[in-house]
Amino acid sequence: MKMLKTLVAASIAAASVPALAYEAGDIIVKAGVVNVAPKSDNLKLDGVGTVEVKDDTQLGLTLTYMVAPQVGVEVLAATPFKHDIELEGDKIGDTQHLPPTVSAQYYPMSPASKFQPYVGLGVNHTFFFDESDSINHLGKSWGLAFSAGMNYEIADSFMANVGIWKMDIDSELDGSGNDVEIDPLVVMIGGGMKF
Ligand code: NI
């Protein structure tokens, strides 16, 4: 009888895994502030000067679908970013863009851990719109995106999150053959819920 009680107790303990334990089929929705900080010296025009694309902060949303306890697919979306564009430090225009990014993620920790760091590799598609007349047009960009981040369980199903993406975004200026190398570091800080 004592043996049976021990077995029952052990099976109850095994069943009461933390609420956040990651499982295939889980959906994680996160929201937060996202800063897109382009690298410096985005385009050097001979005899004209250096073009700089400035940074911007917007609201971001990520949706992650866990295809396995340690493997997820993440989509990053955000409200449109608006970047000032400078030539030799003087503003010459601005542009808006959206950089949707889809990534495959790997979570190395045990699925039951409260602390869930992850790394990801994905594809970014950036399209520009509402460019000022001086810019006229920036071509769309496809590129790789490397990412890393961590979720930390703060209560049942609720988590705090920090995510970072390094995106390869190169956009052709006015069909001129000159690529504006934006290649930003993207940082999102926020929280989320697992369903
Ligand atoms: Ni690039």
Quote the ligand 1 centre to 6 CA distance (angstroms): 60
Fold that domain 22-194 belongs to in CATH: Porin (2.40.160)
Residue 19 has pLDDT above 90, yes or no: no
Residue 158 has pLDDT above 60, yes or no: yes
Quote the ligand 1 centre to 142 CA distance (angstroms): 10
Quote the ligand 1 centre to 42 CA distance (angstroms): 9
Where are the domains positioned within the chain? 22-194
Work out the number of other CB atoms within 10 angstroms of the CB of residue 84.
15
d(CA 69, CA 186): 26
What local confidence, expressed as pLDDT, does residue 174 receive? Answer: 83
What token pair was written down for 74? 């993440």
- Please enumerate in sequence order all residues whose Cβ is within 8 A of that of 181, keeping only pairs 6 or more positions apart, or say none: 39, 42, 43, 169, 170
Quote the ligand 1 centre to 136 CA distance (angstroms): 21
Q: What is the pLDDT of residues 78-91, one digit of tens each?
A: 999 999 999 999 99
Residue 11 has pLDDT above 80, yes or no: no
